Amino acid sequence: MIIINGKFLLQRRTGVQRYAYELTNLLLRSELEVKIIVPKYVDISAFEFPEHVFIKAGVFKNTTLWEQIDLSIHLKRKKNALLISFCNTGPVLLKNHIVCIHDMSYHYNPKWFSKSFSSYYKVLIPLLAKKSLHIVTVSEFSKKQICETLGVQKSKVTVINNAPSGKFVAPGLDSLVFQKDDFFLFVGSHDPRKNIQLLIKAFSLKEYCSLKLVVIGASSNSFHNEDYSATGNISFVTNCDDLMLADYYKRARALINSSFYEGFGLPVVEAMASGCPLIISEIPAFVEVAQKKANYFNPNSLSTLKIALNNFLKKTDTELKSLIINNYQFSFNYDWEMSCNQLVKLIHKLRHERN
């Protein structure tokens, strides 16, 4: 039996939780026997998965204690059960466990996070890497950092990419929008590593005062969040569901993302699948994911952002149409069913090795 750590269902849905939702949904439709375990007090009727797939267990209401104690006790009784934790954390005492570590940002840049968060991860992640049966991550960049930082053998880490959810994928070429609305789009949480301040500086310049920027995202208790002072051409949207976000992607002139660090960069593939061009920072994960399909800039340099933005603004309608079509077709390389198939193959391989 496969048991999925359902802690992610109690968290705000960001890119990490979306990874868990999408793969859980597909695993439940696979040939494997799959259950989701959640704390006993949780109302499972609120979730989008059928009630019969849930196991309710444990006594702790604190989700960290539930994950480390209740989950360990319950799974120890199920000798043949394989636990999958999709969102960086999981019970350290359990060996029959696949854990997904999305990136190593807590290690390389602890200042971006709350003290309690970074301190917990500094203890937890190395223990999980050592004790777990296998590690999954979302990019070759993250795999390299996990292996180098945690001393993990490459054979213990499998890359299974993110992908755009169906809501963000244009049904076909004839549904792509080539006449865009007059705004640029940023999608991400309000934390320091997203480097939103650089975008605010750029769009506050006199030469760009006629350009509009829409910033979609919210703050998180895990990060040192930032306050933003912006000019009238910059607007913030904090409550945005998937349908609204899909519409923003479709209508935006381009996604503009200035992150200092990412493990993958889900908005990049969501934008490409929606027909939204890319102006993004030249960081390893973005270059791996988007390859030559983006206009890149140095996230530490306002001048290089201006060059990338100016180069984009010079593009003709014909060039933009070609760019949108090429990016859309390239986005097919990222597909949740392909990622789930990789995971199912990994599960079978691990089972075979144990037997």
- Predicted local confidence at residue 226, as pLDDT: 53
* Distance separating alpha carbons of residues 60 and 70, to the nearest angstrom: 7
| In the predicted structure, residue 238 carries a pLDDT above the cut 90 | no
User: Per residue in 184-232, pLDDT tens?
Assistant: 999 998 888 999 999 999 999 999 989 999 999 876 544 344 556 667 8
Q: 255 to each of 58, 112, 226, 306, how far by Cα in Å?
A: 43, 23, 21, 15
Nearest to 43 by CA among 34, 31, 33, 51: 51
Q: Beta-carbon neighbour count of residue 291 at 10 Å?
A: 10
Q: Which residues contact 345 (CB under 8 A, 6 or more apart)?
A: none
Residue type, 202: A
Mean pLDDT for 163-173 is: 95
Mean pLDDT for 328-355 is: 94
* Distance separating alpha carbons of residues 138 and 144, to the nearest angstrom: 11
User: Per residue in 133-156, pLDDT tens?
Assistant: 999 999 999 999 999 999 999 999
Helices (H), the chain: 15-28, 63-65, 71-76, 105-108, 115-131, 140-150, 196-204, 242-251, 266-274, 284-290, 302-313, 317-330, 336-354
Orientation angle between helical segments 15-28 and 266-274, nearest 10 degrees: 70
Cβ–Cβ under 8 Å, residues 186 and 211 = no
Q: What is the DSSP letter of 223?
A: B
- Predicted local confidence at residue 225, as pLDDT: 47
Residue type, 74: H
* Distance separating alpha carbons of residues 179 and 186, to the nearest angstrom: 19
Of 10-14, 38-42, 96-100, 102-106, the one with minimum mean pLDDT is 10-14
